[in-house]
Amino acid sequence: MYCSNCGKKIKESSNFCTDCGVSNDVLKETDDSESTVTLREKTRSRIFKLQIVLIPVLLLIFAVFFFSNETGKQSLVDVEQEAELVPQEEAVNEVDGGYFNEEEMVAFTKEYLFVLQRLYYINQDDSSDADTVTGLIVSMTSEALKDKSSLENLLSRTAIMQESKIRGADLTGLVLHVSIMQLIQAHEEYIQFLREVDETTADLAEFQYQIAKFQSSTKTAYLSLAENTAIFPLTFLQLNNDPDRPGEWRISLSSRQEILNEIDLRFSDIFIEAENQYSLTQTKDTTVFIVQELQEFFETVQ
């Protein structure tokens, strides 16, 4: 059976949906044809559920996103202006007055792909089904705590990435670091709410509002991540003033193929999973979108 409110698969015997908290009395009215729908195991419906958030909440998201985006852009500009050029070393290319090293760039990109892969898995639903309000709260709290811990483990990696000497790579590392901090903050607030819920007097409307609030906060972080990492592929090019030519590659063909191989290694199965999810929900995971755009860039730019 599938939840008619959020689309998550639940057990026939469940009294509550483990993802949105809707009572099973409502869920049992769902048409039997829904049982023919199949979801890949561990695929989160969180992206799908974002589509059904109330219009006032969406308006709030856009307002917050616009403000944070403008602030984030200014922060990135400040960081770029304050960046110091590193003296040229042996076997290092000095391009357009900025430090660039092919081996370091390939290593950075592999680390970038690792972080995006981890973010994808963090965004999947690993919560267990529950038949009681108490069980539901415990399951949701447990998953939120696990995801928060995984996000915190990524901060040590992104802290190093944002210190990259390669202009463009450092900004991408900063965007990752800030986005993950935003996700951690959203999880902390969500966990605090879940820990304060009294299952004997739980307000379903408040419960659903807090879930929607958590989803809107995480969506804002992911949208900001997608927008502010969009220029990362240009780091691989030596740009020029010719509008008909994208620029010359700063890394060799073998290095480009090495990055494509890394994408295939980490995301080939994820791409298939995401495609199945898209066929059901018409939504795409943000991290999948980012990686597919990078892959297309490497495959199409000559």
Q: Is residue 23 part of a domain?
A: no
Q: Is residue 24 part of a domain?
A: no
User: How buried is residue 220: exposed, middle or buried, by Cβ count under 10 Å (0-12/13-18/19+)?
Assistant: buried
**Can you tell me the distance from the alpha carbon of 293 to that of 140, in angstroms, rounded to the nearest whole number?**
32
Q: Is residue 235 part of a domain?
A: yes
pLDDT at 59: 43
Total of domains in the chain = 1
Q: Is residue 19 part of a domain?
A: no
Provide the residue range defining the domain that includes 223: 44-300
Q: Is residue 293 part of a domain?
A: yes
Q: Is residue 1 part of a domain?
A: no
Q: Is residue 11 part of a domain?
A: no
**Exposure string for 127-164, b = 16+ CB within 10 A, e = fewer:** bebbeebebbbbbbbebbeebbebbeebeebbeebbeb
**Exposure string for 250-274, b = 16+ CB within 10 A, e = fewer:** bbeeebbeebeebbeebbeebeebb
pLDDT (tens place) for every residue of the chain, 302 residues total: 556 666 555 666 666 666 666 555 544 444 343 333 333 333 334 333 333 333 343 344 444 444 444 444 444 445 444 444 434 343 344 444 478 999 999 999 999 999 999 999 999 887 777 777 788 888 889 999 999 999 999 999 999 999 999 989 999 999 999 999 999 999 999 999 999 888 777 778 888 898 899 999 999 999 999 999 998 998 998 876 666 666 789 999 999 999 999 999 999 999 999 999 888 888 889 999 999 999 999 998 86
Q: Is residue 216 part of a domain?
A: yes
The model's pTM is: 0.67
